[in-house]
Structure 1
Amino acid sequence: MKITVLKNDSGMLSGVVIPAEELNELKRSLKDDSEFFKTLEAILTGQKNSPDKSEISLSSGLTLSQFESKTREITRKLYSDAFQKGLPMYYKDGRTKDASHFVRANPDGSEDLVSFNPAKREYAFIQQLASAGKGYWSDLISA
């Protein structure tokens, strides 16, 4: 069986990769009543293996779905408040390939790719990602 062992920087086991074509062989070697057998069978038959976000309860009493909704509301309010004060907000997404790169969401609804220099504590413009009113957060500029 082809298995790839993944280790973290400290050399500790952090995961195992089993090629999909090997999963049936692995399943045959397991006891039918084991939890791992049931999980593997669900994966192989395409069944849902994990509970829905609305079914997962957190210690706060909120479901995972409710928590994500509240988080979105708070984030949108923070961005809206910053934009009303004329302040840009910075975040990372798929467009920020380098660790020092950030997306700068500007109060006019535009977005720029910027690089942060921690030694100088300053941002340097790299390129415009979206023009005024066209950025991801642009719906908040009049809010």
Structure 2
Amino acid sequence: MVNNNMTELEKIRLKKSTVLASGLTVAETERRMNERIANLYVEFWEKGLTPKYRDNRCNSDEEIIGANADGSEDLLLFDSENRTYTFLRQLVPPGKGQYAKLTERIRYSPADV
């Protein structure tokens, strides 16, 4: 079990050595999960959709981040009653977002969908 007093190197070693019931290590499970998420983002972009997620830049439960196909990120306000998003501001410009490198995997333009 990981505790807050462990160094990052100790956490990495523990993840590489801890085997789950699936027979995979925690590190391999995380790698596979991250790859699947990356593939889902690309699938969304290819369909002309914007994947959304939350991180510490969201200041309320209604704020969410849109990861755009150009590699930019926008802060959005989600209205759960109307199921709509309102653009608040751009967080990072094209090519500079957390998932910008994934945009190189897009096989066809969302405009071709």
Q: What TM bracket, shorter-length normalisation?
A: 0.7 to 0.9
Instruction: Give the SS at the match of 2:17.
Output: coil
Given the alignment, which residue of 70, 82, 85 partners 2:32?
Answer: 70
Residue 59 of structure 1 aligns with which residue?
A: 21
Q: What letter matches 2:84 in structure 1?
A: E
Given the alignment, which residue of 81, 87, 90 partners 1:128?
Answer: 90
Q: CA deviation at 1:123?
A: 0.7
Contact 1:84 1:141 in 2 (8 A): no
Q: CA deviation at 1:66?
A: 0.5
Task: Determine which structure has the larger helix proportion and give its number.
Answer: 2
Aligned counterparts of 1:108 and 1:121: Cα–Cα separation in 2 = 24
The alignment's TM-score, normalised by the length of structure 1, stands at: 0.62
Q: CA deviation at 1:85?
A: 2.0
Q: What letter matches 2:42 in structure 1?
A: S
Given the alignment, which residue of 49, 60, 63 partners 1:101?
Answer: 63
Instruction: Give the SS at the match of 2:104.
Output: coil
CA RMSD of aligned residues (A): 1.7
Aligned counterparts of 1:111 and 1:54: Cα–Cα separation in 2 = 32
Residue 50 of structure 2 aligns with which residue?
A: 88
Q: CA deviation at 1:69?
A: 0.4
Aligned counterparts of 1:62 and 1:115: Cα–Cα separation in 2 = 38
Q: CA deviation at 1:112?
A: 0.3
Instruction: Give the SS at the match of 2:74.
Output: strand
Residue 142 of structure 1 aligns with which residue?
A: 104
Aligned counterparts of 1:54 and 1:69: Cα–Cα separation in 2 = 11
Q: What letter matches 1:136 in structure 2?
A: Q
Aligned counterparts of 1:119 and 1:98: Cα–Cα separation in 2 = 16
Greater Rg by CA:
1
The alignment's TM-score, normalised by the length of structure 2, stands at: 0.78
Q: What letter matches 1:73 in structure 2?
A: E
Structure 2, unaligned runs of 5 or more: 106-113
State the aligned residue count. 96
Answer with 133-142 or 103-112: which moved more: 133-142
